[in-house]
Amino acid sequence: MIIAPSVLSADFGNLQRDIEMINNAEADWFHIDIMDGVFVPNISFGFPVLKQIKKHAKKTIDVHLMIVEPQRYIDEFCIQGADIISVHIEACTHLHRAIQQIKSLNIKAGVAINPHTPVSALQDIILDIDLVCMMSVNPGFGGQKFIQNTYKKVKELKQMIITSGSNALIEIDGGVDFDNAVLLKEAGADVLVAGNTVFSHPSPTEAIAKLKQI
Ligand code: DX5
Ligand code: ZN
């Protein structure tokens, strides 16, 4: 299981400390949530913060764009250090073009889907992508309650990936905790994003290790 702590839940007054914690823990990726206040009802952070994260981070930078017209900013996110960029299917009229744009930069391309978006919407893009970021909460905030319908969607997506011969990883984003992580693995998840479960734990390092053991 790939563990991707969400930097959104870090202490931004001690960002370098929290980045070093992730570097030294059993985490695999840094999950970076970019929110524009339009696609989602919240604003997180942008390029100057990502630049500082990149300066200290020693692991894969997984950027989740919760923004409208993401194609306008894909190149700059790559320049600022993204190793993976996911765009929302709901934010892209020309999704295939956006995915090709990401891949032309020689980084990995992902598609994020909201809880209400059916897995079948991925059918004609699944062979072109490296990752599906499946939202298990409505995007916009950390610390929300996991939506139970996600298990069914993960199983359906796993089936689509196997049948089509796609190499896409299944990433689960939102409300992941120690209990649902076990069921998510059984359903076919490859990557777990965790914000609150890691950063509200008395020992974030231990929380990461516990998720990693699953
Ligand atoms: C939600 C973000 C998530 C969030 C996860 O909009 O995409 O990545 O930070 O945080 P938790 O694990 O606290 O739900
Ligand atoms: Zn996210």
Instruction: Give the start-to-end residue ranges of the domains of the chain.
Output: 2-212
Residue 113's nearest CA partner among 76, 150, 142 is 150
Residue pLDDT, tens place only, 133-186: 999 999 999 999 999 999 999 999 999 999 999 999 999 999 999 999 999 999
**Cβ-contact 11, 17 below 8 angstroms:** yes
List 18, 33, 62, 130, catalytic entry: 33
Q: CA 23, 28, 33 angle in degrees (round to 5)?
A: 90
What per-residue confidence (pLDDT) applies to 146?
A: 98
Cβ(81) – ligand 1 distance below 6 Å: no
Q: Let me know: does 188 contact 6? Beta carbons within 8 Å.
A: no
Ligand 1 touching residue 64 (CB < 6 A): yes
* pLDDT for the residue numbered 95: 98
The whole-number pLDDT of residue 140 equals 98
Instruction: Round to whole Å and give the CA distance between 41 and 66.
Output: 10
Radius of gyration of the chain (CA): 16
What's residue 118's pLDDT? 98
Does residue 196's CB lie within 6 angstroms of at least one atom of ligand 1?
yes
Report whether residue 5 contacts ligand 1, using a CB cutoff of 6 Å.
no
Is 124 an active-site residue?
no
For residue 140, give the ligand nearest its CA: 1
Sign, CA torsion 126/53/214/118? negative
Per-residue confidence (pLDDT) for residue 129, from 0 to 100: 99
Fold of 2-212: TIM Barrel (3.20.20)
Residue segments in the chain with a per-residue pLDDT below the cut of 50: none
Calculated CA dihedral for residues 198, 201, 207, 208, nearest 10 degrees: 30
For the sheet with 2-5, list strands across it: 2-5, 191-194, 169-173, 131-135, 108-113, 84-88, 60-66, 29-35
Tokens of 174: 């939102």
Catalytic residue among 28, 36, 130, 173: 173
| Nearest CA residue ID for atom 4, ligand 1 | 142
CB 42 within 8 A of CB 141: yes
Whole-prediction pTM value?
0.98
User: For ligand 1, is residue 175 a contact (CB within 6 Å)?
Assistant: yes
Q: How far apart are CA 104 and CA 122, in angstroms?
A: 20
| Paired tokens of 84 | 């993976």
Q: What distance in Å separates the CA atoms of residue 139 and residue 33, rounded to the nearest whole number?
A: 10
* Nearest atom of ligand 1 to the alpha carbon of 146: 14
Ligand 1 pocket test, candidate residues 8, 65, 147, most atoms within 8 A of CB: 8
What pLDDT does 99 receive? 98
Contacts of 156 (CB under 8 A, 6+ apart): 119
Pick the ligand that lies closest to the CA of residue 9.
1
